[in-house]
Amino acid sequence: MAVTLNRRLMLAALTGASALALSMGTAYAADYRIAAVVQSLDTEFNVLWANAANAHPLVKDGSVELTILDGRMDPLNQSNQFDTAINEKYDAIIFVPVDINAGNDPVQRARDAGVPVIGSNTLISDTSLYTAYISSNDVAAGEILAKSVVDRMGGKGNVVIVEGMIGQSAQVQRLEGIQKALAAYPDVKVIETRTANWSRAESLTLVENWLTSHGGDIQGIIAENDEMAIGSLEAVKAYGLDPANVPVAGVDGVTDALLAVQRGEMMSTLQDADAQAQGAIDLALAAAEGEGYAPKAAVWDVNGGTLAWDNGKGTQYSVPWVPVTAENVEALLALREAK
């Protein structure tokens, strides 16, 4: 069935599987129904992802009914949401998993039921279960993180690593990249590594404790996302240290991180939520509609973007990272404010 235009938007941003059938807006039938099972709607990047998904042209005009489900950082909750999406006969599921291994079983159940699953952002360990997936290379992100901090340190000194939630693909792969990069710097020593669960508040407390224990022996802080980098930066400043002397780096390009880069206080690499979310919707529609679907999001090469659509037949799509610099941060902030 071809996707048609000019239908009213129906959107449900729901928190539990039992509420999946509810929606907001006028009850016109959409041509396709997609469930997006996401990690959480409590962090800025995930909200940016959800907002980008809602802004997809076919979601905005009502041709596609998008139901966004908040997994609340709970793999069991996400598993239950999968079961409901399957039972409600959604045409496709987009999955941003909480846990790299726990996500395999629900994707397998969807596959067995004939429901295509598109991975986005974080991934499951058995990516062969996906119909396709679109993400950014988190090993590369870890390498960028570590190198940016160590280069500011002059290639020697002590660093601490603030990890994300243990068991998520981003945590696993970014740590792999960090360790890979640090292996090239024999004069750099890792003196502490611990999770702060992607949380700014947890990172603040963790780094405060490390500074109390190690003081000036910490010369750099590698945080696996921007929220934790910002918490680390707050701890550094509260301890009375100059951020110029204790480089901090994160990943995602959330607004506060962009502002901190603008002030010259930290480093960040932007993760393109628009490409990951809207690209996933196009891939879900290609899987549901079959041959001949033309992508509608502006992220693809056919629309002036940088990703190769490959007729929607690829299984793996890699969204490039965007290093945030003094030269481009103003433009990135302007884009953020315009959304």
127 and 190 inside one domain: no
262 and 143 inside one domain: yes
175 and 296 inside one domain: no
Within-domain flag for 1? no
Rounded Cα distance between 11 and 82, Å, is 18
Within-domain flag for 164? yes
152 and 230 inside one domain: yes
200 and 280 inside one domain: no
Strand, helix or coil for residue 201: helix
pLDDT band at 6 (very low <50, low <70, confident <90, very high): very low
Q: Tokens at residue 27, please?
A: 């009850």
pLDDT band at 193 (very low <50, low <70, confident <90, very high): very high
CB of 319 closer than 8 Å to CB of 275: yes
Count of domains observed in the chain: 2
Give pLDDT, residue 29: 55
Within-domain flag for 338? no
Within-domain flag for 331? no
312 and 264 inside one domain: no
146 and 102 inside one domain: no
Provide the residue range defining the domain that includes 179: 138-270
Q: Concatenated DSSP letters for 77-118? A: HHHHHHHHHHHTT-SEEEE--SSTTTTHHHHHHHHHTT--EE
CB of 284 closer than 8 Å to CB of 118: yes
Rounded Cα distance between 183 and 175, Å, is 12
Q: Tokens at residue 335, please?
A: 């884009």
Opening angle at CA 26, ends 21 and 29, nearest 5? 65
pLDDT band at 24 (very low <50, low <70, confident <90, very high): very low
Give the pLDDT mean for 39-58: 96
266 and 174 inside one domain: yes
- CA distances from residue 196 to 5, 96, 204, 249 in whole angstroms, order as listed: 45, 20, 9, 15
Give pLDDT, residue 292: 87
Give the pLDDT mean for 122-147: 97
- Out of 253, 270, 287, a domain closes at 270
- CA distances from residue 236 to 65, 78, 229, 254, 256 in whole angstroms, order as listed: 45, 36, 10, 19, 16
The share of the chain scoring above pLDDT 90, in percent, equals: 85
pTM for this predicted structure: 0.88
Give pLDDT, residue 28: 42
Rounded Cα distance between 277 and 158, Å, is 37
Within-domain flag for 329? no
For residue 277, which of 32, 30, 7, 48 has the smallest C-alpha distance? 48
Give the pLDDT mean for 180-185: 98
60 and 143 inside one domain: no
For residue 168, which of 226, 123, 137 has the smallest C-alpha distance? 123
251 and 193 inside one domain: yes
Give the pLDDT mean for 308-329: 94
Give pLDDT, residue 305: 82
- Compute the mean pLDDT over every residue in the chain, rounded to the nearest whole number: 91
Within-domain flag for 4? no
301 contact partners, CB below 8 Å, separation of at least 6:
307, 308, 309
Give the pLDDT mean for 84-106: 98
Q: What is the CATH number of the domain that holds 176?
A: 3.40.50.2300
118 and 95 inside one domain: yes
Within-domain flag for 2? no
The share of the chain scoring above pLDDT 70, in percent, equals: 91
168 and 91 inside one domain: no
Give pLDDT, residue 55: 97
Rounded Cα distance between 266 and 255, Å, is 13
The yes-or-no verdict on residue 225 having pLDDT over 80 is yes
Give the pLDDT mean for 265-283: 97
pLDDT band at 12 (very low <50, low <70, confident <90, very high): very low
Within-domain flag for 126? yes
The yes-or-no verdict on residue 3 having pLDDT over 60 is no
Amino acid residing at 135: S
The yes-or-no verdict on residue 197 having pLDDT over 70 is yes
